[in-house]
Amino acid sequence: MIIVVSVGGSVLARALSPEKFKNYAAAIKEISKKNTVFIVTGGGQVARDYIGVARELGADEATCDLIGIELTRLNSRLLIAALGDNAYYEPPINYKEAKNASLSGKIVVMGGVTPGQTTDAVSAVLAEYTGADLLINATAIDGVYTSDPKKNRDAKKFDSMTPQQLIEIVMKTEMVAGANSPVDLLAAKIIERSNIKTIVLNGEDPKNIVDAAGGKHKGTVIEK
């Protein structure tokens, strides 16, 4: 199978620790034994801190995004360091480069590509472009809920849902200021237009990714 894994910066690098990257590298190596693997790393709190400072300094939003992209790529570099010779040596800067890099037979790790979106969208487009069989979104919550579970105690988790349902949930969540959507709207639209089988799961424990690649998971599966 071809598998694209989006690892939220909030799970990979909430606080920078070599252990976290080592554990992730071990899990990714495991799934790469039987699959072609692409990893997209998020920026996490460090990206938010940099963006916050840039904004206070008067930088426009596109500039803030470009700074965020640099931070996602730094996390890619740390994961590449942890993967050693198993990974392609450089994070690709676009989708074509990523596809070419994958011809090396190595695990490809990349970050953001263009302002105005997040790495959720990068992973969805990459899954589309590489004809991936599975997109795994490893995030800070354990699936997609009817509403933000941190704000609403009655929120219920979906075991499975259609891409259309995902779009409806994401639009509802994104309209509430400060809410954390499980994936961004652009990613949801891309998942829908190409019917990409997607699993949203808790990425705190990278073993969950290995299980999902093997067909077992406790997250939310999105498919028609």
The answer to the question of residue 198 lying near ligand UTP (CB under 6 A) is no
Interacting residues with ligand UTP between 49 and 68 (CB under 6 A) = 51, 64-65, 68
The answer to the question of residue 94 lying near ligand UTP (CB under 6 A) is no
Q: How far is the CB of 34 from ligand UTP (least distance, A)?
A: 27
Stretch that binds ligand UTP, among 87-95, 112-120, 159-167, 192-200 (CB under 6 A): 112-120
Q: Which is nearer to ligand UTP, 35 or 45 (CB)?
A: 45
Among 5, 24, 42, 107, interactor with ligand UTP by CB under 6 A = 42
Cα–Cα distance for residue pair 152/76, rounded to 1 Å? 34
Cα–Cα distance for residue pair 58/87, rounded to 1 Å? 38
The answer to the question of residue 117 lying near ligand UTP (CB under 6 A) is yes
Stretch that binds ligand UTP, among 40-48, 97-105, 168-176, 198-206 (CB under 6 A): 40-48
**How many other β-carbons are positioned within 10 Å of the β-carbon of residue 61?**
12
The answer to the question of residue 115 lying near ligand UTP (CB under 6 A) is yes
Q: Where are the alpha helices (DSSP H) in 33-162?
A: 44-56, 61-83, 95-102, 119-129
- Residue 125 in contact with residue 133, Cβ under 8 Å? no
Closest CA to 39 of 14, 11, 7, 1: 7
Q: Which residues contact 3 (CB under 8 A, 6 or more apart)?
A: 31, 35, 36, 37, 38, 132, 133, 134, 135, 136, 213
Task: Identify the three-state secondary structure at position 223.
Answer: coil
Q: How far is the CB of 40 from ligand UTP (least distance, A)?
A: 8
Q: Which residues bind ligand UTP (CB under 6 A)?
A: 8-10, 42-44, 47, 51, 64-65, 68-69, 72, 112-115, 117-119, 122
